[in-house]
Chains A and B, each alone.
Chain A
Amino acid sequence: MTNTKKPLLNDAFVVIIFAAAILAMPIWLDPIGGNYPDLLQKFAIYGIFAIGFNILFGLTGYLSFGHAAFLGVGSYAAVWSFKLLTMNVLPAVVFGVLFAGILAAIIGFLSLRRTGIYFSILTLAFAQMSYNLAYSVLTPITNGETGLQLARSDPRILDSLFSDGSVGAGLPSTDLFGETMSGYPGFYFCAVLLIICFYISLRIFRSPFGLMLKGIKSNQNRMKYTGLNTRPYMLTAFIISGMYAGLAGSLLAVTDPLAGAERMQWTASGEVVLMTILGGAGTLVGPMLGAGLIKYFENIFSSFDDNVLTQAFSFLPDSVVEFVVPVVGLFVGSGWHLTLGLLFMIIVIFLPGGLVEGFRRIVNYFRSGGKTKPQSVEAHNQAGE
């Protein structure tokens, strides 16, 4: 975390290990039932979203409750690129990032005039405005409640230039120079982008710019007293973070080409906050970890129902099963959000540093030969702040 402390691993190693872990996900997630292309894509996409959010929240401590707006704008821009230009995913991703960046610049320019809870409320207000507008007045652009979808009659100017104009049966699918972007190819496309994003985020964490952001987090006033104008740094961090969200949004559209306004609702912003905190805000791999865990458990838990539970507990006596199944059933299936909320509260109460902090404590515990060293943890916390 700090320059004085020797990092556990070399940066290059970190990236290589991360890349290997991500690309090998279909293999090591297979035994635990996580090997579906859809789910893997979600891991990668929400990983990007959370990593981007972490650049703002983890480094500067500014809690934005409006990041879903950038996700939504990225999705809309990508779908429009599919509709108007080409089914190739590269322009879609570029436009998604670009438009999210522009929106982030506007919102950031205004919101960053305030700090603390006022900043949170301002971002929340802007995101809710975008959401409400997408539902009502902007219906020509967003297609309101139905959501923006592809149609066979879309112009697709670039595609029609290069092909003979014959449209196959059904809707065209997104592609990368001929490779269809669904299933595993889609996952690998997202995974490669995720690794690039991770690398960029790592460079930001290590750069003077990242250090500046950490300085702003620990004491903005003192940074100002040294004659530094902190606003441009904050704005840059905000825009980068918004662009990550835009990228994630456009990838959502790449893997499933439709965009709905509900992606911009503030609960969606809440979700990325949950992911980042769960994994560990301000750490490199934490957000990815949190995003993966939440999406994994969402998938696993919500597929449980009473039948599955009755089978799972079939080793118990019948009378116990009758009691256990409804109780556990509250926490899985459609009630999985309850588990999420409880888990989240427990993390915030007992482990504000997230899971990464937990791992670090365990490692420290074993390194010191079973003796906890409160001073070192304290010193570390101070440095981390």
Chain B
Amino acid sequence: MDAIFIQILNGLDKGAAYALIALGLTLVFGTLGIVNFAHGALFMLGAFCAVTFQKLVTISVKVRDEGVTAFVAYKEQPYLETWFGDTGRIIIDYSVPLSILLAIPFMLLVGYVMERGLIKHFYKRPHAEQILVTFGLAIVIQEIIKAYFGANPIPQPAPEILAGSANVGAWVGLGNNLVYPWWRLIYLCFSGLIIFSVFAFLQFTTYGMVVRAGMRDRETVGLLGINIERRFTIVFAIAAVVAGVAGVMYTPILPPDYHLGMDFLVLSFVVVVVGGMGSLGGAVLAGFLLGIVQSFASMNEVKEIFPGIDQIILYLVAVVILLVLPRGLMGRAGVMDD
């Protein structure tokens, strides 16, 4: 029971990342009809927002180290600490969550520019060409990041207070040996919040209603005198923000490097396809489900029976689902049916 519970928890945090990326991916597909291979790169850009923010707040000055009395020693002290004392120290400690404040406007801008500058010219082009051009863009983005930040992963510490593990077992009455890192728990709640707000935005606002109508029948909405393209641009920017903040919050779990986006891209496409192209609920469901399936497959007991299953399980599930249920778990009829 303990083992199963912990595997579900382990699967959930990875699944949360999959779900967030897949949500943006399928949102873009459902509205704009674009297969965006650069979406993983947006996730990676978000992660590097956190890196940049952390670099900014820790710009340091050399000061005399008072702790060493035997000789004249110097240490690096961030300006923020010099100026604001403890407040500065807290800002540095909380740099990862705070960098969301940087990531949101930045990703909005990136999404807007990307859609207006490139994607909008590809609405009418075949899917193959959309894949190719966004794949090219993903290469460009990741090479730029590599040029500025180097090829090595850059670890981002979570705030100190959240560094340890939560005693989850005690909460649900399963004993004390069931612990789970705080930050992953935060990530889980955070992704739940993001997913909820995206759904609420689409479901409960007029703006979202128009977007949903546009997803169903773009032409009719256009005939009603609504500038649907403009709204879809915003939707693209929102998808970029979702990917970006997902990337920001993931940095303490996995130190970002330049090909982080490519690693997640393939998996999130698998997630989207399993969930059903263009189905938002399907993407979220499939994200969490595949995360859990993957974490169960990496249990030693399972690996003994099927060696290597943990390496291929996601692809295996995707292949089976695609062959048995061509529309994925929750795909609507008429979307990419050909």
A-side residues, CB < 8 A to B, are 61, 63, 110, 113-118, 120-122, 124-126, 128-129, 132-133, 135-138, 266-267, 270, 273-274, 277, 330, 334-335, 337-338, 340-342, 344-345, 348-349, 352
Contact = CB atoms under 8 A, between A and B. Distances in A.
A92 B273 CA distance: 38
B336 A113 contact: no
Contact of B146 (A129, A136, A277, A335): A335
A335 B142 CA distance: 10
Nearest to B309: A137
Interface stretch (B56-64, B124-132, B194-202): B124-132
Nearest to A107: B319
A137 B336 contact: no
Contacts of B315: 125-126, 128-129, 132
A118 B336 contact: yes
B136 A125 contact: no
Interface stretch (B156-164, B179-187, B230-238, B262-270): B262-270
Given A118-B273, A135-B311, A341 B136 contact: yes
Nearest to B272: A121
Contact of A338 (B118, B143, B326): B143
A337 B143 contact: yes
Contacts of B102: none
A129 B312 contact: yes
A341 to B, nearest CB: 3
Given A118-B336, A120-B131, A122-B319, A133 B136 contact: no
A341 B273 contact: no
Given A115-B338, A116-B127, A122-B322, A335 B269 contact: no
B213 to A, nearest CB: 24
Contact of A114 (B137, B307, B326): B326
Given A110-B319, A338-B140, 20 more contacts: A61-B128, A110-B323, A114-B322, A117-B131, A117-B277, A128-B312, A132-B315, A135-B311, A138-B308, A334-B146, A340-B139, A341-B137, A341-B140, A341-B143, A344-B132, A344-B135, A345-B118, A345-B137, A348-B132, A348-B133
Contact of B266 (A61, A114, A266): A266
B147 interface: yes
Interface string B107-122: 0000000000010010
B290 interface: no
Contacts of B226: none
B35 interface: yes
B273 to A, nearest CB: 5
B299 interface: no
B316 A129 contact: yes
B318 interface: yes
Contacts of B273: 117-118, 121
A344 B118 CA distance: 14
Contacts of B266: 124, 128, 266
B144 interface: yes
